[in-house]
Structures are given as structure tokens and as C-alpha cells.
């Protein structure tokens, strides 16, 4: 079996990469070991910048028609319990902020990739095929049979525990460059209509608890904490979630809550100057490329950005007949140009503000007192909020 490109992983980064390359006319095989639709542990937030890219790739209508819960407001709760609320509006009328359960969202993007011309097969990749240091394809198990698939380029989009990334990088990020997160769906919780919430309590530093409404009286709730801080706490992730649900601001609102579908996962933070996602015959995108926002732990926006860039770089490289490491290094350069400044600011905010609750409190109080720049600040330190403020 021969393909122009094999994309390993059919989450947002993989499906968007496959769709974009197929729209360029490339012969693309999208592989994933899961049976779709499948759930994915996540906060489920899809910010406007992501929707804008999906619009460009022809998937915007699919997302808008899906009936996902729209978000119009942001509520921040400081370490000492101060509160700020901001009305959010997209910079363009054809974008929006949604809470989109990954069970549905990822399946829509996978189907869009197929509709765009990519082939999909359920299969488990076991190893890369390499010759003289160049990736030439993958060995996989499909329908119970071991097969070798030759490809001019392999793209690793298989998430935080990426087999492709482990094969190419071989290292694991230290605990202070990773986070752990736990989420659940809460039914019967009192939510603020169409408003996402971030609770920056000191006991989660550096990290926070979130409430993302999925509809009236239901929400995706969870906590994300940097892995080294979590280890020092000596508690379980379930303990962490219970702490959040019993915090003063939540206790009254969650009296009759029914918690279901708990799930946990790891997040490989993006680190300034540390991106290495291009290799001879291969690229890494999304979480596999360690592009998770280091302040908020959000990964979908950077995943989709990297997917769009990867598709353009690979298409150009295939057109030139040059998929060498030097040729594909253009992907790293484009990621740096598009995401580098945001990653640096988010990383500094996580290390120097979120890790120090008193300082974070002072900064939030100073910003909040100015009546307006909360959203501008969030735009500067996170890829989540590509929005304006009224």
C-alpha cells in the first residue's frame, strides 16, 4: 500500500491535516486505533480562532450546524475569590466560541476529512518504517492483519502519548513541563448562561478549575494542575475534582449535582524555543508536537493551527519532491512565526503568575480595576481568547 501521506491519529489535528492535504489533491490515509465516534478527555472549549480556521477549510458550516452550546461570556475567579465577568464577542461574524463535546466534535472533523477526499481506516500503528534516518511509512495492524504502508510523509497526530513522537524524539518532558487534568460532566449544576468560568484557586496553582456549560443545568467541569505541583500534593485526580466541586463558590451550585464520565489525561506544555516537530519524512502536529497552551492547558486551537501549517508545508515539499529534514524544517519556522509569541507569553504567565497566587491576585485586581482590559490580557497570554470585548 502506497500513499502520499499517512496521518496517524484522527483527532482535530489529524483530521484537519488530512482534510487540508486532500483538498490540495494529495492521496491521504488517516489512521486511528479507536472506533468512532469516541470520547476524548478535554474541556471541550472551541475558541473563535479555531472556528475561523475551520471556516477556511470548509468545515465551518458543519460546526455551526451541529448545535454546540455557544459562549458569550467569561467569568474569572481570583485566588481570593474576587470575580470579574466579561462579555465576549468574536472578531468576525462568522466565528464564535462553543462548548463542543469531543465525542461529537472529533467525529464531525473526521467525516469532513473523508468528505474532503481522505481515506480513513481503523488501525493501530506499531512502528515507523525508516531507511537511513528517513521515515518511509508505518507498520500497522488493520483488521487483525499486520500491514506495511509506504508513505512519502508520515504525520504524527496521535496525541500526548504519541507513538510517532516517542519514536522520533525518544524523550519525555519533565514534570514541570507537563500538566495533569481531570474532567467530568456535571448534571444538575447551576451554571451562568453561555458563560465559561475559570477559578484560579491557590490550591491548584499553577492551574485552575473550570466550568464550561454544555446546556442549561449541565457543564463540563474539571481541574488542570502542573504535574510537579500535583505530585507534591500527594492526592488523586478524583480528590482534586472533589476539592473543586466543594469549593465555596461551587458548593451551593452543585448541591444536587450528578457527576458522570470522569476522565483524566496528560498535557505536554509548549515550551518557548523547544519546538522540534519536523524530521526527514515526518512531522508532528497538535499535542504530539507538544503545543498545548502552557497557561490554560487548551490544545485544540494550537492543534488546528499546526495542522493547517503542516498541510501547506507538506504539500509544497511534495510538489518539489523534497521531504528532507531541511525541507520540512519550514514547518517549525512557520509554527514559531504564528504561535511563538503567544507561547512565550503564556509560558511566562504560567511560571511567574499562575504559580504564585498572591502575584496573580494582584495582577487580576489591577487589570479588573481598569474596566476593560481583561480580555485584551487574555488575548496576549493565551491562544484561547481570540476575541474582542465590548
Cβ atoms within 10 Å, residue 104: 15
Predicted local confidence at residue 333, as pLDDT:
98
Predicted local confidence at residue 87, as pLDDT:
81
- The set of cell numbers assigned to 382 is 493565551
Instruction: Output the pTM of the full model.
Output: 0.94
Predicted local confidence at residue 1, as pLDDT:
76
Look up the CATH architecture of domain 175-269+355-389: 2-Layer Sandwich (3.30)
Query: Which stretches in the chain have pLDDT values below 70?
Result: 90-94, 369-390
| Whole-angstrom distance, CA of residue 69 vs CA of residue 211 | 13
Cβ atoms 118, 125 nearer than 8 A: no
- The set of cell numbers assigned to 148 is 506495511
Predicted local confidence at residue 390, as pLDDT:
42
Predicted local confidence at residue 205, as pLDDT:
96
Is the N-terminal amide bond of 293 cis, ω within 30° of 0? no
**In angstroms, what CA-CA distances link 308 with 20, 260, 313?**
7, 34, 9
Backbone angles phi, psi at 258, to 5 degrees: -115, 120
| Whole-angstrom distance, CA of residue 100 vs CA of residue 85 | 22
What is residue 119's three-state secondary structure?
Answer: strand
Same topology for domains 2-67+100-172+272-351 and 175-269+355-389, yes or no? no
**In angstroms, what CA-CA distances link 97 with 69, 120, 350?**
9, 29, 23
Domain boundaries of the chain, sorted by first residue: 2-67+100-172+272-351, 175-269+355-389
Cβ atoms within 10 Å, residue 87: 14
Evaluate whether the domain defined by 2-67+100-172+272-351 bears CATH number 3.30.70.100: no
Predicted local confidence at residue 164, as pLDDT:
98
Amino acid at each position: 500500500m502506497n500513499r502520499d501521506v499517512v496521518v496517524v491519529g484522527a483527532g482535530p489535528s489529524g483530521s484537519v491535516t488530512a482534510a487540508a492535504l486532500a483538498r490540495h489533491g494529495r492521496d491521504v490515509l488517516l489512521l486511528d486505533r479507536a472506533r468512532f465516534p469516541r470520547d476524548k478527555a478535554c474541556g471541550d472549549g472551541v475558541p473563535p480562532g479555531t472556528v475561523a480556521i475551520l471556516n477556511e477549510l470548509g468545515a465551518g458550516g458543519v460546526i455551526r450546524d451541529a448545535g454546540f452550546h455557544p459562549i458569550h461570556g467569561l467569568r474569572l475567579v481570583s485566588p481570593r475569590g474576587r470575580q470579574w465577568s466579561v462579555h465576549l464577542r468574536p472578531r468576525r461574524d462568522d466565528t464564535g466560541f462553543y462548548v463542543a463535546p469531543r465525542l461529537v466534535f472529533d467525529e464531525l472533523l473526521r467525516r469532513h476529512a473523508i468528505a474532503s477526499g481522505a481515506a480513513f481506516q481503523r488501525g493501530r500503528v506499531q512502528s515507523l518504517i525508516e531507511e537511513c534516518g528517513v521515515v518511509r511509512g508505518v507498520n500497522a495492524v488493520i483488521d487483525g492483519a499486520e500491514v506495511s504502508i509506504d508513505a512519502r510523509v508520515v504525520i504524527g497526530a496521535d496525541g500526548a502519548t504519541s507513538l510517532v513522537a516517542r519514536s522520533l524524539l525518544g524523550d519525555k518532558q519533565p514534570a514541570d513541563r507537563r500538566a495533569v487534568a481531570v474532567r467530568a460532566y456535571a448534571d444538575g449544576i447551576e451554571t451562568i448562561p453561555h458563560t465559561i468560568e475559570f477559578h484560579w484557586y491557590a490550591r491548584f496553582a499553577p492551574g485552575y478549575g473550570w466550568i464550561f456549560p454544555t446546556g442549561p443545568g449541565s457543564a463540563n467541569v474539571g481541574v488542570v494542575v502542573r504535574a510537579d505541583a500535583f505530585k507534591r500534593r500527594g492526592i488523586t485526580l478524583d480528590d482534586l475534582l472533589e476539592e473543586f466541586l466543594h469549593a465555596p463558590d461551587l458548593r451551593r451550585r452543585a448541591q444536587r449535582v450528578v457527576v458522570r464520565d470522569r476522565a483524566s489525561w496528560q498535557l505536554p506544555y509548549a515550551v518557548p524555543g523547544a519546538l522540534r516537530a519536523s524530521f526527514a519524512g515526518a512531522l508532528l502536529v497538535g499535542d504530539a508536537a507538544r503545543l498545548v497552551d502552557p497557561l490554560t492547558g487548551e490544545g485544540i486551537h494550537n492543534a488546528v493551527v499546526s495542522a493547517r501549517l503542516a498541510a501547506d508545508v507538506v504539500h509544497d515539499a511534495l510538489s518539489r519532491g523534497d521531504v528532507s529534514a531541511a525541507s520540512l524544517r519550514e514547518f517549525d519556522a512557520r509554527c514559531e512565526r504564528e504561535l511563538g509569541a503567544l507561547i512565550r507569553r503564556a509560558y511566562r504567565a504560567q511560571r511567574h503568575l499562575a504559580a504564585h497566587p498572591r502575584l496573580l491576585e494582584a495582577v487580576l485586581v489591577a487589570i479588573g480595576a481598569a474596566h476593560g482590559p481583561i480580555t485584551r490580557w487574555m488575548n496576549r497570554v493565551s491562544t484561547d481568547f481570540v476575541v474582542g470585548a465590548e
